[in-house]
Amino acid sequence: MKKRTCISLFSGGLDSLLAVKFMEKLGYKVIPVFFETPFFEAGNALEIAKLNGIALQVVDVFEEYLPVLQNPRYGYGKNLNPCIDCHGFMFRTAGKLLEEWQADFLISGEVLGQRPMSQRKDAMNAVGKLSEVKDLLVRPLSQKLLADTLPIREGWVDKNEMLSIQGRGRHRQLELAREFGIVDFQSPGGGCKLTDVKYSRRLRDLLTHSQISLANIRFLKYGRHFRLNEQTKLVVGRHKQDNEHLSLLADTEIVVRAVNIHGPLGIIIKGDIPTLEEIMLAAQIVLRYNNSVGSEADIAWGENFSLNNIIRINKLDEEKVAEFMI
């Protein structure tokens, strides 16, 4: 029988690499895809795919993913990671590409019992239900242990050729990696910022204050973050590299920095123009982290580095600064 074509969810991790290589070895045409958002970016996956001879497709799904992040049916993990809902969303999105990419079914590198939240058997069933394409899913690394889906019932996939890996140990996967000549892969759980405590706290603050946007999310990776009031937050660079990144990201935001003195850069994030009171508070906080000045200094501010406004300001007390920190 002619081998079918499948779309594979690809993360750059060992299991996703193995799923692609394993199915290709059996003669299937595999189209690996990475669904990108600011929370899981494609850079590492693209590099790993290239190193292992895989032509990876990258699809931006940020707008479609936001409702999943904001209201996951199965809740979050330890931080702001909606793993079950996320996996279901990825499969559902891949399912919509089947006709366009002339593919027949979907695969992933999920291993039964490997992840406590999203890869228990009941969680994998929930993922299938959320995906709306449950009957088209094949998990080659564990499929012998799972219920038959359409590709197996129809004979597109021979279940006897599938594997029965389960649990958190990775000895079998490492054996297969050597067999397939896999040269590099991402560490388990790596790459998703939603599992990071600090990042999740900052993102939750944006969600709470209805300030979710691609522009605001891009600031979350850098600097120290402060909530000045319900409408206004401040990001302060910690070092030269932070300042450089913040400088590249700043567009219409108000920028704050000491006049003619090296030190941290401040970015005020607000839907409209900040008040002078908010700018002065931001300047006091920025000055607190400038070790090159005494208790007061001139601070310049303006939109996107047009720093034409100058005010003399005192440093804010350290204890007071801590009250605003996110």
Radius of gyration of the chain (CA): 24
Q: What is the mean pLDDT of the chain?
A: 93
CATH label, 5-189, candidates 3.20.20.220, 3.40.190.10, 3.40.50.620, 3.30.60.50: 3.40.50.620
Q: Is the pLDDT of residue 112 over 80?
A: yes
Taking only the tens place, the pLDDT of each residue in 85-102 is: 999 999 999 999 999 999
> Tell me, what's the pLDDT at 123?
76
> Tell me, what's the pLDDT at 116?
55
Averaged pLDDT, 131-141: 93
Ordered by start, the domain boundaries in the chain are: 5-189, 196-324
Confidence of residue 189 (pLDDT cuts 50, 70, 90): low
Of the listed ranges 7-16, 27-36, 179-188, 303-312, the least confidently predicted one is: 179-188
- Structure pTM? 0.88
* CA dihedral of 28, 30, 141, 116, whole degrees rounded to 10: -160
Q: Is the pLDDT of residue 118 over 60?
A: no
The CA–CA distances, whole Å, from 146 to 35, 143, 207, 210, 225 equal 25, 5, 37, 41, 45
> Tell me, what's the pLDDT at 190?
60
Residues 127 and 202: their CA atoms lie apart, in Å, by 27
Averaged pLDDT, 230-248: 96
